[in-house]
Structure 1
Amino acid sequence: MKWFYDLNIAKKLILSFGVMLLLTSILGVTTISSMSRMNVASQKLSEQSLPSMRYILALKAAVNTKRRYEMEQLLSDKPEHLARYDKLIDRMLNKVGKLQGQYKETVASPEEHQLLEQFVRVRGEYSIERRKISEMARQGRRDDAVALATGHSFDLMNQQADVLDKIAQFTQDSGDTAGKNAEQTYLSARNVVIGVLALDIVIGALMALWLARIVGEPLRRAVAVARQVADGDLTAEVPVTSADETGQLMEALKHMNGSLQRLVGQVRGSTDTIATASTQIAAGNQDLSSRTEQQASSLEETASSMEELTSTVKQNADNARQANTLALSASSIAVKGGDVVGQVVDTMASINASSKKIVDIIAVIDGIAFQTNILALNAAVEAARAGEQGRGFAVVASEVRTLAQRSAAAAKDIKSLIGDSVVQVEAGTRLVDQAGTTMGEIVASITRVADIMSEITAASQEQSIGIEQVNQAITQMDHATQQNAALVEEAAAAAEAMQAQASGLSEMMSVFKLAPSASAPRTYPVALQ
Structure 2
Amino acid sequence: MFNKLAVKTRLTIIIVLLLIALLVIAGLGLSGMRKANEGMHSVYQNRTIALGLVTKVQNLILDERLQLALGLLDPIPLKIKHQTELVEIDIDSAGEAWSAYVGTELSANEKQLATQFEEAHGNLVREGIMPVVSLLREGKIDEAKVTNEQKLHQLYEPVQRDIAALSKLQEDEARSVYEQAQSRYVMTRDITIAVSLFAMAISILIGWLVSSSITRQLGGEPYYAAEVVRQVAEGDLSVQVQLRQGDNNSLLLDLKHMVEKLHLVVDEVRNNTDTITTAAHQIASGNSDLSQRTEEQASTLEETASSMEQLTATVKQNAENAKHANQLASTASSIAVKGGEVVGNVVQTMGSISASSKKIVDIISVIEGIAFQTNILALNAAVEAARAGEQGRGFAVVAAEVRNLAQRSAAAAKEIKTLIDDSVVKVVAGSKQVDQAGATMDEIVKAVKCVTDIMYEISAASNEQSAGIEQVNQAITQMDEVTQQNAALVE
Pair member with larger Rg: 2
Scaled by the length of structure 1, the TM-score of the pair is 0.46
